[in-house]
Amino acid sequence: MTARVAVDTAVCELHGQCVEAAPEVFAFDGGGQLQYRETVPDDEVTAVQDAQFLCPTQAIALSRDA
Protein backbone atom coordinates (compact mmCIF):
# COMPACT_ATOMS: atom_id res chain seq x y z
CA MET A 1 0.00 0.00 0.00
CA THR A 2 1.08 3.52 -0.69
CA ALA A 3 -0.38 6.92 -0.02
CA ARG A 4 -0.42 10.10 -2.03
CA VAL A 5 0.87 13.41 -0.79
CA ALA A 6 -0.10 16.77 -2.22
CA VAL A 7 0.93 20.23 -1.09
CA ASP A 8 -1.26 23.16 -1.98
CA THR A 9 1.36 25.62 -3.10
CA ALA A 10 -1.23 28.40 -3.02
CA VAL A 11 -1.34 28.21 0.77
CA CYS A 12 2.10 26.81 1.60
CA GLU A 13 4.19 29.54 3.15
CA LEU A 14 7.45 27.57 3.23
CA HIS A 15 7.58 27.38 7.00
CA GLY A 16 9.46 24.10 6.84
CA GLN A 17 7.79 22.18 9.66
CA CYS A 18 7.09 19.41 7.18
CA VAL A 19 10.78 19.19 6.32
CA GLU A 20 11.59 18.74 9.99
CA ALA A 21 8.78 16.25 10.60
CA ALA A 22 9.33 14.11 7.50
CA PRO A 23 12.70 14.85 5.89
CA GLU A 24 12.43 11.63 3.91
CA VAL A 25 9.45 13.10 2.07
CA PHE A 26 9.83 16.90 2.14
CA ALA A 27 12.89 19.04 1.38
CA PHE A 28 13.77 22.51 0.24
CA ASP A 29 15.73 22.71 -2.98
CA GLY A 30 18.62 25.07 -3.60
CA GLY A 31 16.21 27.80 -4.61
CA GLY A 32 14.24 27.52 -1.37
CA GLN A 33 11.25 25.87 -3.01
CA LEU A 34 9.54 22.92 -1.38
CA GLN A 35 10.03 19.57 -3.05
CA TYR A 36 8.26 16.43 -1.95
CA ARG A 37 7.54 12.88 -3.00
CA GLU A 38 3.97 12.46 -4.20
CA THR A 39 3.83 8.76 -3.39
CA VAL A 40 4.95 7.39 -0.05
CA PRO A 41 5.00 3.85 1.34
CA ASP A 42 2.95 2.94 4.39
CA ASP A 43 5.89 3.19 6.76
CA GLU A 44 6.27 6.89 5.95
CA VAL A 45 2.61 7.78 6.38
CA THR A 46 2.94 8.51 10.10
CA ALA A 47 5.69 11.04 9.43
CA VAL A 48 3.53 12.72 6.79
CA GLN A 49 0.64 12.84 9.26
CA ASP A 50 2.97 14.55 11.73
CA ALA A 51 3.89 17.04 9.02
CA GLN A 52 0.20 17.63 8.32
CA PHE A 53 -0.43 18.31 11.97
CA LEU A 54 2.48 20.71 12.25
CA CYS A 55 1.89 22.60 9.00
CA PRO A 56 0.58 26.02 10.07
CA THR A 57 -1.35 26.57 6.86
CA GLN A 58 -2.80 23.05 6.51
CA ALA A 59 -1.33 22.84 3.04
CA ILE A 60 -0.64 19.11 3.08
CA ALA A 61 -3.16 16.58 1.82
CA LEU A 62 -2.72 12.85 2.29
CA SER A 63 -4.86 10.25 0.57
CA ARG A 64 -4.78 6.52 0.28
CA ASP A 65 -4.43 4.77 -3.01
CA ALA A 66 -7.35 2.46 -3.62
- 48 contributes a contact to ligand SF4 by CB under 6 A: no
- 17 contributes a contact to ligand SF4 by CB under 6 A: yes
- 60 contributes a contact to ligand SF4 by CB under 6 A: yes
C-alpha atoms less than 13 angstroms from C-alpha of 39 in its C-beta half-sphere: 4
Q: Which of 2, 6, 14, 35 binds ligand SF4 (CB under 6 A)?
A: 14
Give CA–CA dist 19/55, Å, rounded: 10
- Whether the CB-CB separation of 20 and 53 falls below 8 Å is answered with no
Residues that bind ligand SF4 (CB under 6 A): 7, 12-18, 34, 55, 57, 59-60
